[in-house]
Amino acid sequence: MKKIIISCLALLSIFCVVAHGQLEMNSSGEVGIGATPTTGIDLFTPEAKITHLGVNASPVSGIDFYTPEAKISTLGINVTPTGAHQLWVQGIARFGYSATMSCFEFKYLDMYDMQLLPTMNNSCVIGSSSYGIRKVTAYNFTTLSDKRQKENIQTLSGSLDQIIRLQGVKYDLKKEFAYDEAKISDESLKTKLDLERKGFIGFLAQDVYEVLPEVVSYDEDADIYTMNYLRIIPVLVEAIKEQQTQIDDLKQLVASSSGSLKGAAVSGTSLDEVGENMELTSLFQNHPNPFSVETTIGYYLTENITSASLFVYDMTGKQLKNFNIYEKGSGEVIISSGELDAGLYMYSLVADGKLVGTKQMILTKN
């Protein structure tokens, strides 16, 4: 029997020498593996849990952790190393379902070029409608916007009206969506998180959807609306351009009136005098005039007009009201006495950047 034991010990010693220390266990029960496999490393402990595991390998297709009969569906890493890193990957590491499906890839080229990117273009999501990330901090954000990747390109119109209809709000995030109070025992952390959930400014996605549905998304599974704030920027740019056009038109109007609008004539033309065969874009006298409750300003836009606005301003030339007009043919704008103080006012119709006409109206109040 002793001979058998001695023979086994000898064979084991020879095996350890040949294996070049690929599998080692120290007196503390820590296991270390250093190998260069081609298909992966098989790790399993039938009755014991490995507390410290070190892997140093350069496989062809990655490191595959699996049990003898089935792959591990859940892998947890919980270590407390003596160094500065709990999990250290140098080179390229991929995290995902399989090599044939989309997954995240970590690339380390140098300290200024560490990358987290998907292995397939335009795929992978960080966060979800139900579980959003609390805070993202960075020095720079870029969005792919190459013209060569886009199609069905169209110009925006009516942007100023859309921006005017948006309503910015100030709000607090509800506590149940800001943090899980039951899982936080540190009272100072609770106080910090409670302060951070207050004093936000933004939009309400459901309201924005009524004006700009292109910037709002709805997750049916979570029953939650989300917004892409960056997509509002192009609308803002076009709105500013539209507003600048209106300002330039008014400047031209004031200049053509020799710096004064007081000499503008009051026309007696009314909407009732418009014939069915009207061929010119026109502005008509408001009725009744003077008015004390409300008055109606009539206009006519030909089909070739692409944009038009009705402006109301006081006798100094200061703009008080602006009505964007999209309806072609005969139309009207109603002004209530509650919108203005008693006095004399001017109103002008500008279509496709050209002044159609200017008229006066009088508001009287008892």
Q: How many domains does the chain have?
A: 2
Would 231 be classed as within a structural domain? Answer: yes
Q: Say what the alpha-carbon torsion angle 33, 34, 36, 38 is, to the nearest 10 degrees.
A: 0
**Contact at 8 Å (CB) between 347 and 359?**
yes
- Other Cβ atoms closer than 10 A to 253: 19
Query: If residue 5 lies in a helix (H) or strand (E), which one and from where to where?
Result: helix 2-18
Structure token digits, residue 196 = 């951070």
Would 84 be classed as within a structural domain? Answer: no
Are residues 272 and 333 located together in one domain of the fold? yes
CA gap 89, 107 in Å, rounded: 9
Are residues 263 and 342 located together in one domain of the fold? yes
Domain at 316, CATH number? 2.60.40.1220
Query: If residue 200 lies in a helix (H) or strand (E), which one and from where to where?
Result: strand 200-202
Would 59 be classed as within a structural domain? Answer: no
CA gap 120, 356 in Å, rounded: 56
pLDDT at 146: 92
Per-block mean pLDDT, blocks of 10 residues, the chain (366 long): 48 43 53 42 43 39 42 49 56 59 71 77 84 87 90 90 92 92 90 93 96 95 94 94 81 56 39 47 90 91 90 87 88 90 90 89 83
Q: Which of 203, 235, 267 is the last residue of a domain?
A: 235
Q: Please give the share of the chain, as a percent, with pLDDT higher than 90.
A: 31
Would 177 be classed as within a structural domain? Answer: yes
**Contact at 8 Å (CB) between 159 and 235?**
yes
Query: If residue 282 lies in a helix (H) or strand (E), which one and from where to where?
Result: strand 282-283
Are residues 273 and 353 located together in one domain of the fold? yes
Are residues 267 and 188 located together in one domain of the fold? no
The range of the structural domain enclosing residue 159 comes to 155-235
Would 349 be classed as within a structural domain? Answer: yes
pLDDT at 41: 43
CA gap 287, 271 in Å, rounded: 8
Q: Is the pTM of this model over 0.75?
A: no
Structure token digits, residue 247 = 């300002």
- Other Cβ atoms closer than 10 A to 180: 10
Q: pLDDT digits over 17-64, tens only?
A: 444 445 555 555 545 544 333 333 444 444 444 433 444 333 334 444
Q: pLDDT digits over 274-299, tens only?
A: 444 345 888 999 999 888 889 999 99
**Contact at 8 Å (CB) between 310 and 299?**
yes
Nearest one of 282, 303, 284, 298 to 334, comparing CA atoms: 298
Are residues 228 and 298 located together in one domain of the fold? no
Helices (H), 124-186: 159-165, 175-178
Structure token digits, residue 136 = 């993202």
Helices (H), 24-166: 159-165
Are residues 261 and 231 located together in one domain of the fold? no
Would 164 be classed as within a structural domain? Answer: yes
Would 345 be classed as within a structural domain? Answer: yes
Are residues 266 and 309 located together in one domain of the fold? yes
CA gap 258, 255 in Å, rounded: 5
pLDDT at 237: 94
pLDDT at 134: 86
Structure token digits, residue 322 = 């602006």
Nearest one of 228, 254, 262 to 355, comparing CA atoms: 254
Are residues 269 and 206 located together in one domain of the fold? no
Are residues 273 and 229 located together in one domain of the fold? no
Would 127 be classed as within a structural domain? Answer: no
CA gap 259, 9 in Å, rounded: 110
Are residues 266 and 346 located together in one domain of the fold? yes
**Which amino acid is present at 326?**
Y
Are residues 199 and 291 located together in one domain of the fold? no
The pairing of strands 343-351 and 354-363 is antiparallel
pLDDT at 205: 96
Are residues 227 and 268 located together in one domain of the fold? no
Start-to-end CA span in the chain (Å): 124
Q: Which of 177, 200, 235 is the last residue of a domain?
A: 235
